[in-house]
Amino acid sequence: MIALFQRIDPMVRLIVGAILLATVLPVSESAHETAQGVVNAAVFTLFLFYGMRLSRGEIWQGLGNHRLLVPLVIWIFGVMGAAGWLLWQASSAFLPPMLGLGFLYLGVLPSTVQSATVYSSLAGGNVASSVVAAALVNILGVFLTVPLYSLLAGSEDAVFSGQTLVKVLTILLLPFVLGQALQRFTGEWVARNRKYTTWIDRSVIGLGVYVAFSSAVAQDIWTMLDAQVWIALLLACSVLLVFAYGGVWILGGALKLSRGDRIAMLFAGGQKSIAMGAPLATVIFPAAMAGTVLLPLLVYHLAQMVVAAPIASRLGRTSG
């Protein structure tokens, strides 16, 4: 049993653990504001480390790979955003409104950074391109995710406002810029102590999921969603996952990318970032709404972690 538990991806264990903790011991209503403040501070710290970790040289070098980056950005924010919008519209008949809206939020999120790079490496992909591509789309996500969500959701469900913009810029962009400014003095230390940035990364994700899902538990999400809704949610996430991986792989082939870049594009384009999505949801959505909107992302993320490993293994065996 212990050996089986250890074989489960740490991120999967973390997310499931955060959901279980929020179910058994959710954040109380009186403590929610304090918990949100802790999340905001943790997100600020995380993006500070992101800024210190990625060198400007890597950014400029990666930006030169236009044949990979331009279609990848269009795919992640344009095509996947449109797919999320379509799922939101199509799900209105069988999913609660806030849960359906979660597919739109999922669609406009950037890709993962760490796992996309790891799986690209295992599959024999271009690791340098993967690192820069994932980092770039996450930087763009700071500017694009919330406005795109607001635009596609329409005025009735839009959450983008001047106050939200200030929050996003202060908590995500400002620390990244500060990290870039401090990189000259701290870059070597961060490179030597990657375990700390990994620990911070996972802690912020777990904390964001816990706080957001606590609000969903307060809204009785487990009794609000019956078996049919859960089945519909799983099927919708499966459809989006197949479309994401299959579509971006076909796109890479149509663009005649090198095998290494095509693999990098596959994992960067098929995955969605809970590292960005969970904390950001607690920042831009009301507490009563955040946990429910986040649920499709949680299911999608768990599914992508399950399918990424065998895909990477298969591609790795056929590389070379």
Position 280 in a domain: yes
Q: What pLDDT does residue 126 have?
A: 80
Q: What is the DSSP letter of 25?
A: S
Mean pLDDT, residues 196-223: 73
Q: What pLDDT does residue 156 have?
A: 47
**107 in Cβ contact with 178 (< 8 Å):** no
Mean pLDDT, residues 212-241: 83
Q: The domain containing residue 92 runs over which residues?
A: 31-311
Mean pLDDT, residues 166-190: 76
Position 35 in a domain: yes
Q: What pLDDT does residue 19 have?
A: 83
Q: Domain with 195 in it: what CATH number?
A: 1.20.1530.20
Tell whether the model's pLDDT for residue 319 goes beyond 80. no
Identify the weakest region by mean pLDDT among 78-87, 166-175, 280-289, 291-300.
Answer: 166-175
Q: What pLDDT does residue 5 have?
A: 57
Position 18 in a domain: no
Position 171 in a domain: yes
Question: pLDDT of 130-142, one tens digit each?
Answer: 777 877 787 788 7
Tell me the CA distances in angstroms from 220 to 94, 103, 147, 217, 255, one per residue in order. Answer: 18, 20, 30, 5, 47
Q: What pLDDT does residue 235 have?
A: 93
Torsion of CA 121, 307, 65, 82, to 10 degrees: -170
Report the candidate in 295, 274, 290 with the shortest Cα–Cα distance to residue 232.
Answer: 295
**Measured distance CA(302)–CA(73) in Å, rounded:** 23
Is pLDDT larger for residue 142 or for residue 253?
253
Position 12 in a domain: no
Position 76 in a domain: yes
Position 43 in a domain: yes
**99 in Cβ contact with 296 (< 8 Å):** yes
Own/partner pairs for 189-198, CB < 8 Å, 24+ apart?
Answer: 190/49, 190/52, 190/53, 191/53, 196/49, 197/49, 197/53, 198/114
Tell whether the model's pLDDT for residue 311 goes beyond 60. yes
Count structural domains, the chain: 1
Question: pLDDT of 118-129, one tens digit each?
Answer: 678 778 888 777
**Measured distance CA(65)–CA(133) in Å, rounded:** 9
Mean pLDDT, residues 191-211: 73
**45 pLDDT tier (thresholds 50, 70, 90):** confident
For CA atoms 185, 188, 189, 193, give the dihedral sign.
positive
Helix axes 287-318, 10-24, angle to 10 degrees: 160
Report the candidate in 107, 113, 111, 100 with the shortest Cα–Cα distance to residue 78.
Answer: 107
Instruction: Provide CB contacts within 8 A for 128, sequence distance 6+.
Output: 58, 61, 62
Is pLDDT larger for residue 21 or for residue 42?
21
Position 15 in a domain: no
Is pLDDT larger for residue 232 or for residue 120?
232
Report the candidate in 164, 165, 160, 180 with the shortest Cα–Cα distance to residue 47.
Answer: 180
Q: What pLDDT does residue 243 have?
A: 97
**170 pLDDT tier (thresholds 50, 70, 90):** confident
Q: Could you give the maximum distance between any two Cα atoms of the chain, in Å?
A: 58
